[in-house]
């Protein structure tokens, strides 16, 4: 069974998901990597939702669009044809770098989904359980295929400041495929794999 999720995603839909479930996401989502996460925390969250006047418009947009929304850890390859942006490749980037920020972003923006690769740590897992969110693993090495699920680049934010890979790309996706690897019930496949690996290592060392 594939769970069809449409942004904004409800708490009930998130609660129905468990690790190992396949999902397809449709709607408007945002790419965000290191610079974008640091920016959100420093400009919006640490200021208590009172950003500088120059940043207020983007804050209001993100507050509206990320409420029940999804962030994709991705540094896309893009092209521009006749003034219109399109994604050439959109593979996931390693998520653990955002561990110091992700729980804060989930809480502040009421984020419901984080897509990336490699999983995240205990802070993110705790936030997923407390605020009803999931971490979704996208297939690495399939950037061109994933880009086909991007129906439209609606806008791009902070392009000049952050550059193409780090900018906020506001995209509309249809049937974006991913697998739940951290759910809102405190379960993480990544934690299990790490524990199993450590146990096997100890077994081999002792043997």
Residues involved in catalysis = 37
CA 91 to CA 163: how far, in whole Å?
A: 17
| 3-class state of residue 122 by DSSP | helix
Helix (H), strand (E) counts: the chain: 8, 9
Question: Residues 6 or more apart from 101 whose CB is under 8 A from it?
Answer: 37, 38, 40, 41
Two structure tokens written together for 153: 């680049």
φ, ψ for residue 171 (rounded to 5)? -125, 150
Strands (E), 60-109: 70-72, 77-81, 84-89
């Amino acid at each position: 069974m594939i769970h069809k999720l449409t942004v904004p995603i409800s708490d009930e839909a998130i609660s129905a998901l468990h690790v190992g479930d396949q999902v397809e996401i449709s709607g408007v989502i945002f790419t965000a990597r290191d610079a974008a996460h640091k920016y959100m925390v420093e400009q919006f969250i640490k200021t208590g939702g009172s950003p500088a006047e120059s940043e207020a418009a983007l804050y209001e947009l993100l507050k509206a669009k990320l409420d029940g929304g999804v962030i994709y850890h991705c540094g896309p390859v893009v092209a521009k044809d006749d003034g219109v942006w399109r994604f050439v490749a959109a593979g996931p980037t390693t998520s653990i770098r955002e561990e110091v920020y992700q729980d804060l972003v989930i809480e502040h923006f009421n984020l419901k989904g984080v897509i990336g690769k490699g999983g995240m740590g205990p802070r993110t897992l705790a936030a997923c359980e407390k605020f009803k969110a999931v971490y979704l693993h996208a297939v690495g090495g399939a950037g061109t295929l994933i880009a086909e699920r991007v129906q439209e680049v609606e806008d791009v934010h902070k392009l000049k400041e952050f550059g193409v890979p780090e900018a906020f790309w506001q995209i509309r996706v249809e049937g974006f495929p991913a697998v739940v690897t951290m759910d809102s019930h405190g379960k993480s496949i990544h934690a299990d794999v790490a524990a199993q690996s450590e146990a096997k290592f100890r077994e081999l060392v002792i043997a």
